[in-house]
């Protein structure tokens, strides 16, 4: 009888473990298979917003679009390298970000660059607040009720 109960418990645990792995694999596949049309629309919307907020000239817009295209090609080319060590990935991302900032500094005027940096900082703070709220909500949902 004990063997039967123990076997049933292991079977149940194994089933739940497999379900978790399947969910993780599906979410990874969903991230890789984003809709290109939606991504392109979002990129165009972001460019319009930047153009109106920073008063970009047409030549600045074309330069920034070219930078975006170059960055996307580099991401595709370097995607195989992004599976390695976390520290190496962070270093690579940091160098890419520094390069992006220096390129933007050459394209934008000093006033535009300052505005762009402040908008970028505001967006980062909003994202952090949103994530913090989500984490707190998740914690509240998973915490046991006090009696």
Q: Is residue 105 part of a domain?
A: yes
Q: Is residue 112 part of a domain?
A: yes
Q: Is residue 139 part of a domain?
A: no
Q: Is the pLDDT of residue 23 over 60?
A: no
Residue 112's CB: how many other CB atoms inside 10 A? 19
Q: Which residue has the higher pLDDT, 139 or 35?
A: 35
Q: Is residue 11 part of a domain?
A: no
Burial class (CB in 10 A: 0-12, 13-18, 19+), 56: buried
Q: Is residue 106 part of a domain?
A: yes
Burial class (CB in 10 A: 0-12, 13-18, 19+), 121: exposed
Look at the chain and count its residues.
Answer: 147
Q: Which residue has the higher pLDDT, 142 or 31?
A: 142
Give the residue numbers spanning the domain of 115. 44-134
Cα gap 115→113, rounded to integer Å: 5
Q: Is the pLDDT of residue 57 over 50?
A: yes
Q: Is residue 18 part of a domain?
A: no
Domains of the chain: total: 1
Task: Judge whether 113 and 64 are in contact, CB under 8 Å.
Answer: no
**Where on the phi/psi map is residue 109: left (φ > 0), alpha (ψ -120 to 50), or beta?**
beta
* pTM exceeds cut of 0.85: no
Q: Is residue 22 part of a domain?
A: no
Q: Is the pLDDT of residue 78 over 50?
A: yes
């Amino acid at each position: 009888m004990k063997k039967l109960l123990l076997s049933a418990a292991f079977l149940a645990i194994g089933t739940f473990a497999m379900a978790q792995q399947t969910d993780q694999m599906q979410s990874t596949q969903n991230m890789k298979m984003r809709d290109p049309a939606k991504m392109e629309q979002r990129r165009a919307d972001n460019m319009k917003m930047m153009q109106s907020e920073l008063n970009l000239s047409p030549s600045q817009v074309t330069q920034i679009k070219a930078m975006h295209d170059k960055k996307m090609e580099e991401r595709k080319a370097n995607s195989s390298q992004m599976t390695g060590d976390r520290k190496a990935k962070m270093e690579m991302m940091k160098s890419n970000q520094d390069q992006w900032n220096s390129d933007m500094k050459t394209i934008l005027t000093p006033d535009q660059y300052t505005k762009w940096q402040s908008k970028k900082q505001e967006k980062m703070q909003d994202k952090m607040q949103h994530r913090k709220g989500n984490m707190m909500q998740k914690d509240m949902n998973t915490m046991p009720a006090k009696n």
